[in-house]
Amino acid sequence: MKLIAVAALTLFAAAPALAQTTPTPTPAPGATTATPPATAPAGAAKFTVDTPIEQLVADEKAKAVLTSVLGGDITQNPFYDQIKAMSFAQVQPLSQGQITDELMKKLADGLAAIK
């Protein structure tokens, strides 16, 4: 019994040390760091089903696609405030089957057509 207690105490005592992370290396003076491109690559869709819903609603063309595919204004949905920061890809598993794969395909196709 003492062995189990000692093992447990040792584990808890070591936990903070094991949880530490290594610091991020600092670049050398004068070194340049790579920066991500400011715009999406040519040919990439402006919006996808991975785009947050509130960004889609903010764009007139994307909102028109949503209204057409969903059959109404998504901002009138009682859960809109809870899901607006999420994408349709994130909301689909939580939708209890209301957002089907077919609906996702229609959304993806409609959003991909926006230039």
| Domain limits, the chain | 53-112
What pLDDT does residue 111 have? 96
pLDDT tens track for 75-100: 999 999 999 999 999 999 999 999 99
Residues 6+ apart with CB under 8 A from 73: 67
- pLDDT higher than 50, residue 50: yes
* Cα–Cα dist 37/63, whole Å: 26
Q: Is the pLDDT of residue 28 over 90?
A: no
Tell me, what's the pLDDT at 12?
45
Q: How far apart are CA 109 and CA 74, in angstroms?
A: 18
What is the Cα–Cα distance from 14 to 16, expressed in whole angstroms?
A: 6
- Per-residue confidence (pLDDT) for residue 9, from 0 to 100: 43
pLDDT at residue 11 in the model: 43
Average pLDDT score over the chain: 79
Residues sharing a CB contact under 8 Å with residue 33, sequence separation 6 or more, in sequence order: 27
DSSP H helices in 1-115: 2-19, 53-58, 60-70, 80-83, 88-91, 101-112
Per-residue pLDDT at 6: 42
54 pLDDT more than 70: yes
Specify the 3-state DSSP secondary structure of 87.
strand
